Amino acid sequence: MACVHWEFSAQQLADFCAVQDLISTIEPDDEQDILLEAWEQALAFTHDEATWEAIEFFAPLIEACQLDSADIDYLCPGET
């Protein structure tokens, strides 16, 4: 199991709460509300352990320039 490290500043947490409050007041007339859909996708993303495992694995490699776009395409076909 991966260990995910969250480090938010007080201002980032306040912003996060403000956005959550705004989103919770939205009652869209249609099902294609872009802001609401983006927010829900972001929340799902933050709760997906497999995503964080992949980020924690690939981030240092990419930062150290050990992977280029061809390497990433090979390892994650259809994702770029």
Whether 16 and 29 have beta carbons less than 8 Å apart is answered as no
Query: What are the residue ranges spanned by the domains of the chain?
Result: 49-80
pLDDT at 1: 45
Q: How confident is the model at residue 79 (pLDDT cuts 50, 70, 90)?
A: low
- Structure confidence by residue, pLDDT tens digits, 15-38: 888 887 777 776 666 666 777 788
Task: Please name the residue that has the structure tokens 């947490």.
Answer: 13
